[in-house]
A and B are shown apart, each in its own frame.
Chain A
Amino acid sequence: MSAQASDTSLTAGRAAPLVLERRFGALRRLLRDPLGALGLVLVALIVIMALGADILSPYGPNVTNVKERLQPPSELHWLGTDQLGRDIFSRVLVGSRIALWVAAVTSFFSLIGGLALGLIAGYGPRWLDSLLILIFDSIRAFPTVLFALAVVTILGPSLGTIIFIITIFNVPVYARIVRTQTLSLRTTEFILAERSLGAGPVRVLFVHMLPNVIGPLLILASMDVPVVITIEAGLSFLGLGVRPPTASWGSILNDGYAFIRNTPWMVISGGVPLILATLGFTFLGEALRDAFDPRLRKDV
Chain B
Amino acid sequence: MLIYTARRLALTVLILLVTMTLLFSMVYLVPGDPASIALGPRATAAMKAAFRERMGLNDPLPVQLWTFISNVLRGDLGIDVWSNRSVTQIVLEAMPYTLALTGVGLGWAVVTGIPLGAWSAVARNSWTDRLIGVISVSAIAIPSFIVAIYSLLLFAVWLKWLPAIGAGDRGDWGDQLVHLLLPAFAVGLGWVGYIARMVRASMLEVMGENHVRTARAFGLPEQRILFRYALPIAILPTIALLGVGIGNLLSGAVFAEIVFARPGVGKLTYDAVITRNYPVVMGSVLITTAFYASCTLVADLVAAWLDPRVRASL
Contact = CB atoms under 8 A, between A and B. Distances in A.
Interface of A: 35, 134-135, 137-139, 141-147, 149-155, 226, 230, 233-234, 237-240, 253, 257, 260-261, 264, 267-268, 271, 274-275, 278-279, 281-283, 286, 299
Contact of B270 (A138, A142, A149): A149
29 contacts: A137-B11, A141-B19, A142-B19, A143-B248, A144-B251, A145-B250, A146-B269, A146-B285, A146-B288, A146-B289, A153-B37, A153-B281, A233-B143, A238-B258, A239-B274, A257-B149, A257-B259, A264-B157, A264-B158, A267-B149, A267-B150, A271-B149, A271-B150, A275-B143, A275-B146, A279-B142, A281-B141, A282-B138, A299-B125
A237 B251 contact: no
Contact of B289 (A134, A143, A230): A143
Grouping DSSP codes into helix (H, G, I), strand (E, B) and loop, the A interface class, with mixed when no group exceeds half, is helix
A139 B37 contact: no
Contacts of B270: 149, 238
A143 B19 CA distance: 11
- The residue in B134, B137, B285 that gathers the most chain A C-beta atoms within 10 A of its C-beta is B285
Contacts of B288: 143, 146
A237 B258 CA distance: 10
Nearest to A237: B145
Interface of B: 11, 14-16, 18-19, 22-23, 26-27, 30, 37, 124-125, 134, 137-138, 140-143, 145-146, 149-150, 152-153, 157-158, 247-248, 250-252, 254-255, 258-259, 265-266, 269-270, 272-274, 276, 278, 281-282, 284-285, 288-289, 292-293, 296
Contacts of A226: 141
Given A137-B15, A154-B30, A299-B125, A234 B145 contact: yes
Nearest to A131: B18
Nearest to A230: B143
Contacts, number: 129
Contacts of B149: 253, 257, 260, 267, 271
A260 B254 contact: no
Contact of A141 (B252, B266, B284, B289): B289
Contacts of A155: 30
